[in-house]
């Protein structure tokens, strides 16, 4: 019950009940406000304000719809652009992967070729060194033989000189001369 007291008190104290006198009198403020309101509505209708407001609202609605359509078109265009960029990025990534793989293959092939070239170079140098060693050995053997021959000749000359007398030497010279004459004729 206490809840109803406040709304009833406010309703009883409203300005509608403050006006006194007959309702259809110009002294009644409620009646004057009603007539002013009806005249205001009539002026609004005569000036076609509701149609103009409707037209303005329709124009605004069309403008909003056009903006929404444009936004949708831009969104679709952005999606298409995004997908094309993603595809391009994927293609570039694949191409870079192929380039890297090809570079690795070429590097491995170059390394393999370099190893083979190094082995061949080492083999050539080893063969050249072996040839130089063989040549040096042959030269050393030749020098040793020549030295041995010269030493042997010198030793034989000394031995023969000590063992041979002057008569035996002249007989041996005469015999050699005779052999030479016999071979020449």
Please tell me the predicted confidence (pLDDT) of residue 15.
53
- Give the separation between CA 168 and CA 174, rounded to whole angstroms: 10
Q: How confident is the model at residue 12 (pLDDT cuts 50, 70, 90)?
A: very low
When the pLDDT of each residue in the chain is averaged and rounded to a whole number, the result is: 84
pLDDT band at 180 (very low <50, low <70, confident <90, very high): confident
Residues 6 or more apart whose CB falls under 8 angstroms from that of 23 comprise: 30, 31
pLDDT per position as a tens digit, 21-78:
577 777 888 889 999 999 999 998 899 988 899 999 999 999 999 999 999 999 999 9
Residues 6+ apart with CB under 8 A from 164: 172
- Reported as a single tens digit per residue, the pLDDT across 152-167 is 787 777 777 777 777 7
Domain boundaries, the chain: 48-184
Mean per-residue pLDDT, 98-114? 93
Please report the pLDDT score of residue 13 as a whole number.
Answer: 43
Integer Cα distance of 62 and 58 in angstroms: 6
pTM, entire model? 0.39
Burial 58-89 (b: 16+ CB within 10 A, else e): eeeeeeeeeeeeeeeeeeeeeeeeeeeeeeee
Query: Terminal CA-to-CA distance of the chain, rounded, Å?
Result: 180
**What pLDDT score does 7 carry?**
52
pLDDT exceeds 70 at position 116: yes
Whether pLDDT at 10 is above 50: no
Q: State the average pLDDT over residues 134-151.
A: 85
Q: What is the pLDDT of residue 170?
A: 78
Which long-range CB contacts under 8 A does 103-110 form with residues at least 24 apart?
none
């Amino acid at each position: 019950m206490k809840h109803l007291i406040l709304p009833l008190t406010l309703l009883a104290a409203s300005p509608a009940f403050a006006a006194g006198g007959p309702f259809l009198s110009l002294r009644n403020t409620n009646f004057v406000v009603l007539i002013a309101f009806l005249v205001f509505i009539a002026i609004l209708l005569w000036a076609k304000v509701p149609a103009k407001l409707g037209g303005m609202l329709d124009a605004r609605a069309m403008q909003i719809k056009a903006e929404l359509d444009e936004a949708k078109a831009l969104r679709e265009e952005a999606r298409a652009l995004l997908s094309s960029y993603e595809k391009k990025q994927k293609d570039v990534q694949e191409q870079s992967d192929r380039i890297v793989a090809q570079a690795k293959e070429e590097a491995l092939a170059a390394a393999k070729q370099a190893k083979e070239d190094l082995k061949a170079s080492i083999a050539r140098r080893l063969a050249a060194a072996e040839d130089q060693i063989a040549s040096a050995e042959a030269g050393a053997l030749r020098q040793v033989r020549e030295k041995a021959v010269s030493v042997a000749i010198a030793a034989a000359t000394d031995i023969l000189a000590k063992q041979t007398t002057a008569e035996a030497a002249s007989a041996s010279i005469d015999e050699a001369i005779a052999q030479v004459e016999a071979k020449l004729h």
